[in-house]
Amino acid sequence: MTRLQGKVAVVTGAARGLGAAIATRLCEEGAAVMLTDILDGEETSQRLRDAGHQAAFTVMDVAKRDAWKPVLSDTASRFGGIDILVNNAGVYRPATIETIDLDDLIDVYGINLFGPMLGMQAVIPYMRERGGGSIINIASNATDFIFPETISYGSSKAALANMTKAVAVHCGRQGYRIRANSIHPGPHATAMMGTDSPLVQRIPLGRMGTPEELAATVVYLASDDAAFVTATELFVDGGLIAA
């Protein structure tokens, strides 16, 4: 399992949940990983180093426009460059059109949409220096699976998927060899989703996904196995969106 030997990755929201599983699997595939979060991710990072992997943790709020540059610069000088960015940090705040508060919407967009935009903008020069790279944005199947309460979350993720494609087309046309794709998970057992979901009975595969299964799709998009895959939406939801 060394499909990412010599690669360097930055993963946001990596202190727990899907982000921690993604960082772990990227390390297991040979990548050096910078974990970032607003929560303390040092324990996860230490566990990875104890297992012989190259990993570091730094506190970073993805929504803060000045936060990205120092973190990417530190990552590049520590590990020699940056090849992979996984924009995983995200928040879910339930609200309908009748209950939504504009400040709350701006907050959700700040984390789920503006943060990834800042990250993609800041990482492109590093990836160009390496002759290419892979940007993976964790969206949600809420882009297409609509509930009244997902007005802010779903619209932020739908915009993220659209933005990902604009970045992919731009980078492709510029000849940067930088790919950009979005992953659209269905229910996975994490702090955000809990260990049970009312949606489970509607999932054709009959269960929630595991963080490890989601991490495997990140590795695919990060690796050369996906060399011709860009501007795509990859649904990892046990078939829920089709059912």
Ligand X SMILES: NC(=O)c1ccc[n+]([C@@H]2O[C@H](COP(=O)([O-])OP(=O)(O)OC[C@H]3O[C@@H](n4cnc5c(N)ncnc54)[C@H](O)[C@@H]3O)[C@@H](O)[C@H]2O)c1
The set of catalytic residues is 153
d(CA 69, CA 170): 21
Stretch in the footprint of ligand X (CB under 6 A) among 25-33, 126-134, 182-190, 220-228: 182-190
Residue 63 in contact with ligand X, rule: CB under 6 A = yes
d(CA 99, CA 80): 47
- Least distance between ligand X and beta carbon 61 (Å): 4
Sheet with 8-12, side-by-side order of all strands: 55-59, 32-37, 8-12, 84-87, 133-138, 178-185, 233-236
Residue 88 in contact with ligand X, rule: CB under 6 A = yes
**Which residue is it, tokens 């701006």?**
106
Choosing from 62, 161, 171, 180, the residue that interacts with ligand X (CB under 6 A) is 62
d(CA 20, CA 80): 22
Cβ pair 242, 204 in contact under 8 A: yes
- Least distance between ligand X and beta carbon 137 (Å): 9
Size of site (CB under 6 A) for ligand X: 27
6 φ/ψ sector (left φ>0, alpha ψ -120 to 50, else beta): left
Choosing from 35, 56, 86, 89, the residue that interacts with ligand X (CB under 6 A) is 89
d(CA 57, CA 60): 9
Stretch in the footprint of ligand X (CB under 6 A) among 27-35, 46-54, 143-151, 186-194: 186-194
The counts of H helices and E strands in the chain are: 7, 7
Choosing from 33, 111, 163, 240, the residue that interacts with ligand X (CB under 6 A) is 111
Residue 91 in contact with ligand X, rule: CB under 6 A = yes
d(CA 167, CA 230): 10
The SS3 assignment for 161 reads: helix
Choosing from 37, 83, 144, 233, the residue that interacts with ligand X (CB under 6 A) is 37
Choosing from 140, 150, 152, 217, the residue that interacts with ligand X (CB under 6 A) is 140
d(CA 113, CA 154): 11
Residue 45 in contact with ligand X, rule: CB under 6 A = no
Residue 203 in contact with ligand X, rule: CB under 6 A = no
Stretch in the footprint of ligand X (CB under 6 A) among 9-17, 50-58, 116-124, 199-207: 9-17
Residue 200 in contact with ligand X, rule: CB under 6 A = no
Choosing from 90, 116, 133, 154, the residue that interacts with ligand X (CB under 6 A) is 90
- The residues that touch ligand X, with contacts defined as CB under 6 A, are 12-13, 15-19, 37-39, 61-63, 88-91, 111, 138, 140, 185, 187-188, 190-193
